[in-house]
Amino acid sequence: MRRRRSSAWVRDLVAQTVVTPADLILPIFICEGKGQGGIIAPRMSVDGVVTAAKEARALGVCAVMLFPVIDDTRKTEDGRHCADADNVLCRAVAEVKSAVPDIGVICDVALDPYTTHGQDGIFRDGRVINDETVDMLQRQAVTLAASGCDIVAPSDMMDGRIGAIRTAMDGSGAQHVMILSYAAKYASSLYGPFRDNVGSAACLGAADKLSYQMDPRNSCEALDEVTLDIAEGADMLMIKPATAYLDILYRTSQATNLPVFTYHVSGEYMMLKEAAKQGYLDFDKAYMEVLQSCKRAGARAIVTYGAMDVARSL
């Protein structure tokens, strides 16, 4: 076994997986007006997003994933601002697509940045209402598609939303727009820095998302979610989070020929950053090892906050 590990060239020659910039998807946060602050990543102005997308493409990154930070004054119980064609996300999508047409633009479909309660759906009488939420998600997806978004990525975990969004987009001339389904998204406690950055943490308070995001104790259910989303018309699938759910990523990638992506989420990224800051590990090495583990488990691409740094070093 050791002969093939004896020098760098033979290790490279027999390496089974490789991480390249084309494997990485860069998440970007956009806010109204000037860029301001940011915990896990900067909250950028629309101009800032265009510059970042240009730089990402030049480094070989194929796609960006855009998340809006919505002013509190625009948030409502039903999150209807998600379907306004002139909201900050739609404006950013249009600007990026006109300035950097050869980068893929992916947008999350879920209501949490737009709701006063921070839930991903319409919340009434103590529960998130499935079908009314799906109606709103259809409007959100159609609006994003019209603004030039290439891939809509429903991350809400409502039942039936993939088929409904496919139908709505097909009916509005957006047959070409792809759906990346967060098929198995777990009710994880690793989303904290993201929620702070988007501004949904304060709205959510002590509430949780356990009635729609998956129970971390379960795995078979993830494959049922995958089967349904494929049947409903998903073009690509996402497993989220990444490192604590590599078994789900592996099983999914074995079970389907569709491309399966994973999202290395904000809490996973911050754990590495903070541990490195304490001197417990070398960030670049540990981070690359984590990305390699995702590829080994079958991820075709990885959404990750360090995409630019890795692309630069590669």
Tell me, yes or no, if 240 is annotated catalytic.
Answer: yes
Selecting among 185, 273, 277, 285, the annotated active-site residue is 185
Half-sphere exposure of 63 (CA within 13 A, CB side): 21
Nearest approach, Cβ of residue 240 and ligand PBG (Å): 7
Q: Which is nearer to ligand PBG, 156 or 225 (CB)?
A: 156
Question: What is the per-residue burial (b if ≥16 Cβ within 10 Å, else e) of 70-95?
Answer: beeebbeebbbbbbeeebbbbbbbbb
Q: Which is nearer to ligand PBG, 98 or 200 (CB)?
A: 200
Q: Identity (one letter) of the amino acid at 22?
A: A
Q: Which one, of 41, 36, 39, lies nearest residue 308 by Cα?
A: 41
Q: Which is nearer to ligand PBG, 120 or 150 (CB)?
A: 120
Nearest approach, Cβ of residue 7 and ligand PBG (Å): 38
Q: Which is nearer to ligand PBG, 75 or 209 (CB)?
A: 209
Nearest approach, Cβ of residue 227 and ligand PBG (Å): 22
Instruction: Please name the residue ranges forming H helices in 34-187.
Output: 46-58, 88-99, 130-147, 161-171
Asked whether the CA dihedral 144, 105, 16, 274 is positive or negative, the reply is negative
Burial of 133 (0-12, 13-18, 19+ CB in 10 A): buried
Q: 123: Cβ–Cβ under 8 A, 6 or more apart, which residues? A: 77, 115, 117, 129
Q: Report the interface residues with ligand PBG, using CB under 6 A.
A: 108, 110, 112, 120, 155-156, 191, 194-195, 209, 265-266
Selecting among 75, 97, 209, 240, the annotated active-site residue is 240
Nearest approach, Cβ of residue 75 and ligand PBG (Å): 14
Tell me, yes or no, if 285 is annotated catalytic.
Answer: no
Nearest approach, Cβ of residue 93 and ligand PBG (Å): 16
Q: Which one, of 51, 31, 47, lies nearest residue 199 by Cα?
A: 31
Q: Which is nearer to ligand PBG, 115 or 256 (CB)?
A: 115
Catalytic positions are 185, 240
